[in-house]
Structure 1
Amino acid sequence: MRSNAPSSIPRPLQVFVGSLVHRRVSRTLYGQGTGRLPGSEAAILREEVWENVNALIAEARKSVPGEGPFWTLGGDGPMEVDTTLFGFIVSALICEASPVSGGIVRTYPALVDYAGRIRDRRKGLAAITLLMYPLNLLDVDEHIGVYF
């Protein structure tokens, strides 16, 4: 991951900053309780979380006919939960640092379909973009691209 965001800073500084970030994230996870779980329990928790999110998305998908985007809690447009879920799903699919999460997400067609429909439809992308960036400064297609 050092070849991405921190690639413009010198390598020794990348290592130093990386260790600081790792330590801080580890401390936060420990404080939240998830960092205290053994590896096997963390894997079970990760699977259960994605399974429950998939069930929620699958139920929402049933309520919308056709191929357009659908929203997690129903309704005509996205809410903050849609922005959050879209971000988590896409990051799990494209993050090379955690291929396990990406593999789990890929086993749930409803999750991939949910993110794909939002990505594929300009209306859905515009709605998500407005929630994520109220000034619409970023072009979502340019930054997300086609990763799944």
Structure 2
Amino acid sequence: MITLCQFPAAFNVPNPSPYCLKVETFLRLCGLDYRVKTLFDPRKGPKGKLPFIQLDGELIADSAVILRTLSERLELPLDRHLDAAGRGRALAITRLCDEHLYFLLVYFRWLEDEGWHQIKPVFFGGLPAPLKWLVPGLARSNIRKALHGQGLGRHNREEALTFAREDLQALSDLLGAAPFFGGVQPCSADAAAYGLLANLILCSLDTPLNRLAREFPALVAYCERLRDKFWA
């Protein structure tokens, strides 16, 4: 049995972390049996972040490493219908979601006051005093420094939204008229795409990025389709 250790659900999505939702969606796409262990402190993970899984007594962290390890050890067939170009395309989609659009999501949740005022009580409201007065500001400061180092934190709102629009348009164009990013059936890229897009489109958070994502009908329909098929 696979144990998935992740944050609790919030904001009307199974997980407010795109990476946690990515891994759990992958487990569902593959039809694997698993159980969830809810954690609040990412420092308990082997790499100091969530999600991580326990598999055969081994702790495995990082969503990309988790998916790769499960695919190899369990010989999962999720991507077998893809040719070499399809596998390359799936990896490019995954990287776009994990390594660029994700940081824009963080930007509008943590750096912009509109998003911050929505996530602060949910993420930190359960802390005891005086931690609930100290930790949120420290966490936000650390996120601001991390995004500045990553690069996107150096841009203003309009520049960040322009990047986001380009990413979302690319995903919409890559999806086209297909039901999934894997074509007529899902592939591993759908786990990453849904983990991110559900947190923009189906999530109850209301930020400029969430509103922008909901302007792409193909991506809205995609999220609803995958939710209804694998999360009903």
- Indicate the TM-score class for this superposition, using the shorter chain for normalisation: 0.5 to 0.7
**Of the two structures, which has the highest relative contact order with CA contacts closer than 8 Å and spacing of 6 or more?**
2
- 1:107 paired residue number: 215
The number of equivalent residue pairs is 113
Q: Is the 8 A contact 1:2 1:14 kept in 2?
A: no
Paired residue for 1:128?
none
- Structure 1 stretch 100-109 or stretch 48-57: which is displaced more? 48-57
Name the residue aligned to 1:18: 136
Number of the residue aligned with 1:51: 169
- In angstroms, what is the RMSD of aligned CA positions? 2.1
Richer in helix (by share): 1
Q: Quick one: structure 1 residues 48 and 15, their matched pair in 2 at CA, closer, same or farther if it must change by over 3 Å?
A: farther
1:34 aligned residue: 152
> TM-score normalised to the size of structure 2?
0.44
Identify the residue that residue 76 of structure 1 maps to in structure 2: 185
Change (3 A) 1:108 1:35: same
TM-score by length of 1: 0.66
Secondary structure in 1 aligned to 2:220?
helix
Which structure shows the bigger proportion of residues in strand conformation? 2
Residue type at the aligned position of 1:9? L
Which amino acid is the alignment partner of residue 21 of structure 1?
A: A
Deviation string, structure 1 residues 74-117 (Cα, Å, up to 9, x no partner): 263331x2111111111113152x52111111110111111100
| Structure 2 gap segments, 5+ residues each | 1-118
* Contact kept? 2:194, 2:223, Cα under 8 Å: yes
Gaps of 5+ in 1: 64-69, 126-139, 142-148
Q: Tell whether 2:194 aligns with 1:86.
A: yes
